[in-house]
Amino acid sequence: MEVMSRTPAYEALFRSWLEEHRGIIVKVTRSYAPNLTDAADLEQELLLQLWISLPSYAGQAKPSTWIYRVCLNTAMTWRRSSLRREQRIEPGKDFSAITAPASSPAEIAGEREVLEKLYAAIQAMPAFERALILLMLDGLTYREIAEIIGLTENHVGVALTRARKRLAELMKGLTNELG
């Protein structure tokens, strides 16, 4: 595929990719933004960078791989460049957009609590491990992760093992802290 220019077809492709891959943007945003206000800012930054970068998409990777790469790089840069964002846990985040409906209010509360702890733990991780965990949780293979991150599959496996251990420790610590 040759480099695209900004035409109606370009806009249509952008819109269709947003519909199809919206979950990537949501996951990256929730993993890198410490609160809802910052999440809105980061989401806009991701969308802008995807729009700006789309003409450089050459079709050498799957669209989802390319979108992950752009979003993760943008989120890591955004996170580093803003001193006002602190890594903190914000109780009461609204995770309703990504939780599956449960059959009772108690189950809904339990699912929200687990998700809140998971995202808080992910936010507390170093940026590289955060990206690995996010891609793993999305069910990508080591090969796909390697392509997005720019590592070998073996290095992805080793790094994911370390990242999983750190996530488990952070989740355990949050469980002890929060209740």
Residue 175, domain CATH = 1.10.10.10
- pLDDT at 50 (0 to 100): 92
> Total structural domains in the chain?
2
Tens place of pLDDT for every residue, the chain, 179 residues? 444 556 788 888 889 999 999 999 999 998 888 788 888 889 999 999 999 998 888 888 899 999 999 999 898 888 877 644 344 444 444 544 444 444 566 666 667 777 788 888 888 889 889 989 888 888 888 888 888 888 899 999 999 999 999 988 888 876 666 55
Q: Are 112 and 61 within one domain?
A: no
Which of the listed residues 86, 120, 141 is the one where a domain comes to its end?
A: 86
Q: Which two tokens stand for residue 64?
A: 């989802």
- pLDDT at 61 (0 to 100): 86
Helix residue spans in 82-152 (DSSP H): 105-123, 127-137, 142-149
- pLDDT at 170 (0 to 100): 87
**What range defines the domain where residue 31 resides?**
1-86
Q: Which two tokens stand for residue 41?
A: 């800012």
The CB-side HSE value for 53 (13 A sphere, CA atoms) comes to 17
- pLDDT at 108 (0 to 100): 66
